């Protein structure tokens, strides 16, 4: 559902941070609603400024929540494709599922722990500024004396506490649901069964959320009604999708990239001239792109037909393939995968869907094969051999 059209904002420790277009809609909506709230106690200009600051800090809180998941996932050898913020919050996209109940619990609990720390820090800062009584009032949006800082801290305390409670509901795919899945997995030693049970609870919770939306609509609250129904529909679909994905990945459990890749791919030397690359590879094989290797056989990047066509024919003999290839810098471009990686890791790689194939490399970066979408589909087929 996410990741295909996100706009990259930054990279933090190599993790791509992006926003979905829907994020801008919710950002403006939150600013609008908070401007009305702050307007009851502050002048219009101040109220708008506080609304903008509060909205941005709220989304920063969401980003830190997802970074909590990402950091713990990385420490447990799970790759992070990126983090996207969108209209319902954020999502840390991992390249594969957890391989044990303990890892699942640690990754799932990391986000709520970060949110708890943010709420406690904001409450503590409010206490230091206004005293115990003032800080408590601020969590109810009643900052004493019209203090702007206390008002923002009060909002952040409240919204993060609300986020924490919502995320800990034991309904998959919420963090609480993932924690519940870890517990069931630990007891049953069956990840698929644990996912099915947690997903069913998630779908049940989604119906309750939608029922709450209907209640708001009948009560004349259009905004909250539509919002709750939308959240409920999303949670139900996400739980169903997670259950289906687990059923698929359970069929390829134990398979590695090396088990399905083409171990004799056609590769282009980085030092080859564009003229020879065009005649000997593009005209001969007709492929839209080829992997490029350096003299030691290490994967360097991709050379695409369009890149060669963009160079005048008269200039091609004097230019090397390396001059126009898409460079794969330490794997950051998402064009490669390790040969010993679980096949499940391929399912989350955008490069595989975008290019139709992805290159497989050994730990030293040498190109060992190519995996195509068709090869992955055959492996996912219910009739495919198990090993």
Domains along the sequence of the chain with CATH: 7-252 (no CATH), 257-380 (3.10.580.10)
**CA–CA dist 366, 294 (Å, integer):** 9
Q: In the prediction, which pLDDT does 387 show?
A: 40
Per-residue pLDDT at 372: 82
Burial class (CB within 10 angstroms; exposed 0-12, middle 13-18, buried 19+) of 144: middle
Maximum Cα interatomic distance, the chain, rounded to a whole number of Å = 79
Ranges of the chain whose pLDDT falls below 50: 1-4, 135-145, 384-387
Q: What is the pLDDT of residue 132?
A: 54
pLDDT of residue 144: 42
Give me the pLDDT at residue 16, please.
86
What 8-state DSSP symbol labels residue 315?
G
Q: What per-residue confidence (pLDDT) applies to 119?
A: 94
Question: What is the chain's percent helix, strand, coil content, to nearest 5?
Answer: 60, 15, 25
Q: Which of 329, 333, 335, 338 is nearest to 361 (CA)?
A: 338
Q: Which of 248, 349, 354 is nearest to 304 (CA)?
A: 354
Whether the Cβ atoms of residue 281 and residue 307 lie closer than 8 Å to each other: no
Tell me the per-residue pLDDT of 96-138, one tens digit each, with 9 for 90 and over. Answer: 778 889 999 999 999 999 999 999 999 888 888 876 555 444 4
């Amino acid at each position: 559902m996410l990741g295909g059209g996100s706009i990259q904002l930054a990279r933090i420790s190599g993790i791509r941070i992006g926003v979905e277009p829907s994020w801008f809609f919710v950002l403006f909506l939150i600013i609008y609603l908070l401007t009305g709230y702050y307007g009851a106690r502050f002048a219009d200009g101040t109220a708008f400024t506080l609304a903008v600051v509060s909205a941005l800090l709220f989304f920063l809180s969401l980003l830190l929540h997802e970074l909590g998941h990402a950091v713990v996932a990385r420490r447990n050898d799970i790759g992070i494709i990126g983090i996207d913020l969108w209209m319902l919050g954020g999502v840390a996209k991992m390249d594969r599922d957890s391989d044990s109940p303990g890892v699942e619990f640690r990754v799932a609990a990391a986000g709520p722990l970060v949110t708890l720390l943010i709420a406690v820090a904001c409450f503590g800062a409010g206490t230091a500024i206004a005293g115990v009584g003032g800080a408590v009032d601020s969590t109810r949006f009643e900052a004493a004396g019209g203090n702007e800082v206390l008002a923002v801290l009060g909002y952040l305390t409240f919204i993060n506490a609300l986020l924490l409670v919502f995320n800990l509901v034991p309904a998959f795919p919420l963090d609480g649901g993932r924690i519940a899945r870890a517990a069931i997995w630990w007891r049953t030693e069956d990840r698929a069964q644990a996912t099915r049970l947690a997903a069913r609870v998630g779908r049940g919770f989604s119906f309750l959320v939608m029922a709450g939306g209907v209640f708001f609509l009948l009560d004349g609250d259009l905004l909250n009604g539509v919002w709750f129904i939308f959240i409920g529909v999303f949670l139900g679909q996400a739980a169903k999708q997670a259950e289906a994905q687990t059923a698929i990945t359970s069929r390829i459990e134990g398979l590695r990239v090396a088990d399905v890749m083409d171990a004799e791919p056609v590769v282009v030397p980085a030092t080859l001239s564009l003229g020879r690359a065009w005649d000997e590879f593009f005209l001969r094989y007709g492929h839209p792109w080829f992997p490029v290797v350096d003299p030691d056989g290490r994967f360097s990047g991709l050379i695409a037909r369009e890149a060669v066509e963009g160079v005048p024919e008269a200039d091609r003999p004097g230019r090397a393939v390396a001059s126009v290839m898409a460079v794969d810098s330490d794997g950051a471009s998402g064009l490669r995968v390790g040969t010993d990686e679980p096949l499940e890791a391929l399912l989350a790689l955008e490069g595989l869907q975008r290019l139709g194939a992805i290159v497989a490399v050994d730990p030293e970066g040498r190109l060992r094969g190519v995996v195509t979408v068709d090869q992955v589909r055959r492996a996912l087929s219910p009739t495919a051999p198990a090993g």
